[in-house]
């Protein structure tokens, strides 16, 4: 009698395990973000939004014929020097990545430094002006700027200390393919108070959100 009860319990346990495996297997299949497609391979079915970054180093900037910033050696690397009392310029260009989320406008970050420190507070500032334009396929490629960001940014509390300044961009459309930007130090403005010294630009980075699963076919 006891043996029959034990066998019955073992049988029920095995049935329960098999049923559980089948149930969770089906749940896993339904939650999957990909599916088989015999004619086109794997088909993406979901999104996975992440932040991405695309940077232009000092050596990769364009320099205009008028009032260009100066490429110079800095430590074991390179920087663009923007002098005081003028309006030196550098030019940057980015290609818009596939899968970019146009509902979240990108941000441009400048990494720069200044010889003059400001250990006491918001006293020594550099004025950066970013003029930029988006354009897509068949758009005129020498279009004027879409927008301008013009603001002052406090230097580091350390001499030649690294500063990261974030500039929120706007106006990107789903059809845009490229971004062009002109970066100018408005050093002859009264609110640029880093007097008599250079502002040194290391790079410009475009921060944006993208669906890392890629562009659907």
Q: Could you report the per-residue pLDDT of 86-123, keeping only the tens digit for each?
A: 999 999 999 998 888 888 999 999 999 999 999 988 89
Residues 197-215 have pLDDT tens digits of: 999 999 999 999 987 665 5
Residue 36 scores a pLDDT above 60: no
Per-residue pLDDT at 48:
73
- Tokens for 34? 């990909």
The whole-angstrom separation of Cα 118 and Cα 153 is 11
> What is the end-to-end Cα distance of the chain in Å, rounded?
64
Sign of CA dihedral 142, 147, 152, 157: negative
Let me know if residue 187 belongs to a domain. yes
Per-residue pLDDT at 31:
41
- pTM metric for this prediction: 0.76
State which residues form the domain around 22.
2-44
Domain check: are 37 and 79 in the same one?
no
Domain check: are 127 and 103 in the same one?
yes
Domain check: are 39 and 59 in the same one?
no
Per-residue pLDDT at 188:
96
Domain check: are 15 and 78 in the same one?
no
Domain check: are 61 and 115 in the same one?
yes
The whole-angstrom separation of Cα 67 and Cα 73 is 19
- Say if residues 145 and 62 touch (Cβ distance below 8 Å): no
Residue, of 5 and 75, whose pLDDT is higher: 75
Domain check: are 19 and 84 in the same one?
no
Per-residue pLDDT at 38:
54
Cα–chain center distance at 65: 29
- Tokens for 43? 């088909």
Residue, of 26 and 60, whose pLDDT is higher: 60
DSSP classification of residue 96: P
Q: What is the mean pLDDT of residues 163-176?
A: 95
> pLDDT-based confidence at 28, cuts 50/70/90?
very low
Question: What value does the mean pLDDT of the chain take?
Answer: 85
The number of folded domains in the chain is 2
Let me know if residue 87 belongs to a domain. yes
Domain check: are 57 and 146 in the same one?
yes
Sign of CA dihedral 45, 46, 48, 52: positive
DSSP classification of residue 69: -
Mean pLDDT check: name the lowest of 3-17, 57-71, 139-153. 3-17
Per-residue pLDDT at 99:
82
Let me know if residue 9 belongs to a domain. yes
Let me know if residue 98 belongs to a domain. yes
The whole-angstrom separation of Cα 108 and Cα 176 is 16
């Amino acid at each position: 009698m006891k043996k029959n009860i034990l066998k019955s319990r073992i049988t029920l346990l095995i049935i329960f395990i098999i049923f559980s495996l089948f149930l969770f297997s089906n749940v896993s299949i339904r939650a999957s973000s990909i599916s088989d497609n015999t004619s086109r391979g794997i088909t993406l079915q979901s999104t996975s939004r992440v932040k991405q970054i695309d940077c232009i180093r000092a050596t990769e900037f364009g320099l205009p014929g008028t009032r260009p910033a100066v490429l110079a050696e800095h430590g074991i690397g390179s920087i663009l020097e923007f002098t005081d009392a003028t309006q030196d310029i550098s030019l940057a260009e980015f290609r818009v990545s596939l899968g970019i989320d146009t509902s979240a406008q990108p941000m441009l970050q400048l990494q720069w430094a200044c010889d003059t420190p400001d250990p006491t507070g918001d006293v020594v500032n550099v004025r950066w002006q970013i003029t930029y334009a988006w354009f897509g396929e068949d758009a005129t490629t020498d279009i004027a700027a879409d927008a301008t960001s013009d603001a002052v940014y406090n230097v580091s509390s350390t001499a030649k200390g690294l500063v990261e300044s974030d500039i929120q961009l706007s106006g990107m459309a789903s059809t845009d393919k490229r971004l062009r930007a002109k970066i100018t130090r408005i050093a002859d403005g009264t609110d640029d108070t880093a007097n008599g010294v250079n502002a040194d630009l290391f790079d410009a980075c475009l921060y944006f959100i993208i669906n890392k699963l890629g562009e659907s076919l």
